[in-house]
Structures are given as structure tokens and as C-alpha cells.
Amino acid sequence: MDPEFFELLAMPLFDQLYNFSHWLTGDRSDAEDLVQETYAKALKNFELFQEGTNLRAWMYRILRNTFLSSRTSLAAQKTDALDDDTEIASNAPTPESALLQLENSQAVIDALATLPVGYREMILLIDIEELSYKDAAQVLNVPIGTVMSRLSRARNLLRQALTAKPPERASNAV
């Protein structure tokens, strides 16, 4: 597409992309670097972007790929091994205390920060950025079925993190 339209179409995504970037990196400076690099790459390759396709998914994908090749991400990934295939254990009834935790926004958000980045990004893309499964599949470059199973696993891990840890715990883990 004509680079002349890049600013018009890409700048409205700025806040979302920044939020996503900060969630991924856990740091303002790293988040800014990531967003800046994302915009630079997107602008450079904007002619390759096909009109009629989803610019939002395209930008998120550039951001995520840039993040994956970054230092911050490489450090995080060492401890992450995504398990898309293992069937998630059948959900046992959640205790009452955990249910209360689920309603505690601060606790949920803090717990999100403790998730491995591969699962955190699933929650971020679907529950926070509200991408469709199809767009998320495009961002992650995986089949929609993988989005579904990985998301389910991420949500389960988040719920476990909530029930396993006290709500007051301050989390700064990335």
C-alpha cells in the first residue's frame, strides 16, 4: 500500500501496540524500543501490506516477531516451553476464595505478569487486545486450533496462579 497512508492507518494503533509491547517486555524503555522498531519495520515494508487484510494483525505480528528476536525475549524464552499438545487436566471445582480472586482485577493483572511470555501473549491478544482467533493465528503464525488450545492453557495457568498465590503479592516478574 502507498506509504502515504501509513501514518493515517497505523497511528491509531499506537496506544494498543505500546500497551502490548510494555506487557511483553515489562519495561518502559524496552517497550518504547520495541514499538519504535515495529513502526520502522512496518513503514519500510508497508508496500508489501495488502489492502483489505488486517493491518492490526499485521502490526501485532511485526511487533511480536521483533520481540521474539530481541534480547529481552530470548532471556524470557529460555524458561518457556509452550506445551500446545498436552490435554489440559479436567477442571476441578474452584474454591470460593479463588472465585473472589477472579473478581479482583489487580490480582488477575498481577498474576498475568507472572505467566511465561508465550502464554501471557495469548491472554494479551485475545482477552485484552480482543483480537479474533483468526487474527491471533495470523499474529502468531499458527493454526486457529493452536490458538484455541494455547489460550485455554494460558487461562488455566492464570487461574492457577491466582489460586496458588496470595493476592497482595507484588509481581514484577516478566
Chain contacts with another protein (rule: CB under 8 A): 3-8, 10-11, 14-15, 18-19, 22-23, 28, 31-32, 35-36, 39-40, 43, 88, 90-91, 93-94, 99, 102-105, 107-109, 112, 123-124, 126-129, 132-133, 148-149, 151-152, 155-156, 158-159
62 vs 107 by CB, closer to another protein: 107
Q: Which of 84, 102, 153 is nearest to 110 (CA)?
A: 102
Return d(Cα 65, Cα 121) in angstroms, integer.
Answer: 12
Q: CB 40 → another protein: shortest distance, Å?
A: 7
List Cβ neighbours of 39 (8 Å cut-off, separation of 6 or more).
10
79 vs 91 by CB, closer to another protein: 91
Q: CB 71 → another protein: shortest distance, Å?
A: 20
Phi, psi of 50, deg, nearest 5: -90, 130
Q: CB 65 → another protein: shortest distance, Å?
A: 18
3 vs 53 by CB, closer to another protein: 3
Q: State the distance between the two ends of the chain, measured CA to CA, in whole angstroms.
A: 36
Q: CB 106 → another protein: shortest distance, Å?
A: 8
97 vs 152 by CB, closer to another protein: 152
Q: CB 138 → another protein: shortest distance, Å?
A: 14
To 10 degrees, the CA torsion angle through 18, 127, 26, 39? -30
5 vs 75 by CB, closer to another protein: 5
- 115: number of Cβ within 10 Å: 22
482485577: which residue's cell? 105
Q: Tell whether the torsion through CA atoms of 51, 52, 54 and 55 is positive or negative.
A: positive
